[in-house]
Every structure is written in structure tokens, then in C-alpha cells.
Amino acid sequence: MGKSHQQVSKFALEGRLLGFFDKKNKKAKQLGIATTEGIQTIDLSLSKKERASLSDALNRGDRIRVSGKRKLNLKTGKLKLKARQVLPASPAEICQQYTSASPCQLESETAPAPDKPVKILICQKSDCRKRGGKAVCQALEESLRESGLQDRVKIKATGCMSRCKLGPNVVVMPDKTRYTKFKPKEVPELIAKHL
């Protein structure tokens, strides 16, 4: 299939580990994760050694962060996720569960610097607007003005984020935290958490 029929982007998810599995030979080539958006099956794009250390270090029910590459087949609508990194949800857990220093270093390298500008992306395509995207945008602008944060945060209206039925969709950058079915009343919580 040509690349023109695929949309490739990065993803980052956080949730509870459901387990490692592979349908064919029962090796840890995939993982299941329960997120606020539902259950996801993610292919592991890791070496055998990395997969083995993950299955030893993590237990079912642990909170984890998964990041990697997301491929959307534009013809079929099929979404495929490939994990490049799987870590416990908090940096303290990372350092306790891994003996190697590299996962801790990776976490600190990928954590956003405090002086990076914050962008809040809000889908403004028709489905998200119908579900309240415009009201979310207005509530965010108002709340930022009241808090005096309008100079530190940029609100950007975007095109489709490919989760139309879960709209309105909001993404906070640079940490790529995604919110779905976001309501204007949740704006103060988002500001408190990220700003």
C-alpha cells in the first residue's frame, strides 16, 4: 500500500496494563492497555531483550506510559499503534523498577522543559464543534485571561484529530496529553494540572 493511503503520526497513551501477549506464539509482542478512551492493543516495536525486561518489571494493573508511532489506513480506517517506549507512569517508578539507568535518562530527556510554551490544540471540525468544541475554546480563552496566563499559552484550532465520536478533542502540548469528550466545566482542572 502506498504511503499516500496512510497517515503516520506519534502517539502517547497512559493507562493500566492489561497484559502482554501475542496471538500466534504467545511471546510478548503486543500489550493491552486500558485508557480513559477505551482498551487499546499495541504492537511492541522493541528488541527481545527489552520485551523480556518489560514483562519482568511490569505487572498487570500497573499504570504505564506508552509512546510510539500511529498509522491510520485512510482507505479502511484501520488504526495500528507501534510502541517504541513503555514506561511506568511516574519517574519514581521507572527508577525503582529498572536496574539500567537508560529508562530514567529517557524519561528526563522526553519530559518537557518548564520554559517551553504551552499550546492547547482544540479540534474545530464539524463533529467536535457540534459536540461543544467552540464552547470549550471560548471557556479556555476566558479562563486563561482571568488567570493571567494568556501570554504563556497559545490556543490553536485544529483540523480533525481522528476521534470524531469522542469529541470535542483537546491536546495539551508539548506533553501531548489528549482529552476526549471535553466539557467547558473541565477547563479549570486542565489549567490547574498543566499550568
pLDDT exceeds cutoff 60 at 189: yes
Residues 6+ away with beta carbon under 8 Å from 151: none
Fold that domain 3-110 belongs to in CATH: OB fold (Dihydrolipoamide Acetyltransferase, E2P) (2.40.50)
Instruction: Output DSSP code: residue 26.
Output: -
Between the two ends of the chain, the Cα-to-Cα distance in Å is: 42
pLDDT tens, position by position, 85-133: 888 876 444 444 443 433 333 333 333 444 567 899 999 898 888 999 9
Q: What percent of the chain stands above pLDDT 70? A: 81
Which H/E stretch holds residue 95?
helix 91-97
Instruction: Confirm if 16 and 182 have CB atoms less than 8 A apart.
Output: no
What is the secondary structure of 111-170 as a DSSP string? SPPTTSPEEEEEE-SHHHHHTTHHHHHHHHHHHHHHHT-TTTEEEEEES--S-GGGPSPE
Least Cα distance to 17 among 93, 112, 77 occurs for: 93
In angstroms, rounded to a whole number, what is the distance separating the alpha carbons of residues 43 and 69? Answer: 10
Residue type, 78: K
Higher local confidence (pLDDT), 132 or 35: 132
Q: Is the peptide bond before 168 cis (omega within 30 degrees of 0)?
A: yes
Given this model, what pLDDT does residue 105 score? 35
Whose cell is 518489560? That residue is 54
Q: Which CATH class is domain 118-194?
A: alpha beta
pTM, two decimal places: 0.43
Pairing of strands 153-158, 118-123: parallel
10-14, 23-27, 115-119: least confident range = 23-27
- Residue ranges of the domains in the chain? 3-110, 118-194
Strand partners, 11: 68
Do domains 3-110 and 118-194 share one topology? The answer is no
Give 68-85 pLDDT, tens digit per residue.
998 888 888 788 889 998
pLDDT of residue 135: 92
Q: Which residue has the higher pLDDT, 93 or 49?
A: 49
What is the Cα–Cα distance from 133 to 136, expressed in whole angstroms?
5
Place of cell 478533542: 169
Give the bridge partners for 49, in sequence order: none
- What are the grid coordinates assigned to 185, written together? 466545566
Least confident of 17-26, 100-109, 169-178: 100-109
Least confident of 26-40, 41-55, 57-71, 83-97: 83-97
Residue 1 is predicted with a pLDDT of 46
